[in-house]
Amino acid sequence: MNTDEVAKRVVELTRKQAWKEALESLYAKDIVSVEARPNESGSPEARGIDGVRGKMDWWLDAMETHSVKVRIPSSAPSENVLLGNSS
């Protein structure tokens, strides 16, 4: 898949709220997810697919999502910008 195809697939899965399918099918095993604030362990980072899966499980258990809107305002060969909000 090229960058544009991956971005479109992320949008498709996000709109369906298929978070786990997106994680398992599109992200590398050595993924690093960085938050603006540290988590309870003191680090803003979740490293590796298992760490990010744990963060996702926490989020899904702690939050209730009523709607999701996401779009790709621009795309380039090596990067994309995804805009979204959820409520």
> pTM score > 0.85 for this model?
no
User: Which tens digit of pLDDT belongs to each residue from 44-54?
Assistant: 899 999 999 99
**Residue 70: predicted pLDDT:** 80
Structure tokens at 26: 């599109």
Average pLDDT, the chain: 82
Residue 30 in this model has a pLDDT that exceeds 70? yes
Structure tokens at 16: 């369906």
Give the count of domains, the chain: 1
Q: How far is CA 47 from CA 18, 25, 27, 64, 81, in A?
A: 21, 17, 12, 25, 22
User: Which tens digit of pLDDT belongs to each residue from 56-84?
Assistant: 898 889 888 888 788 775 666 555 555 56
**Residue 21: predicted pLDDT:** 95
**Residue percentage of the chain with pLDDT more than 70:** 83
Q: What is the CATH number of the domain that holds 50?
A: 3.10.450.50
User: Which tens digit of pLDDT belongs to each residue from 3-18?
Assistant: 778 888 988 898 898 9
Residue 63 lies in domain: 3-86
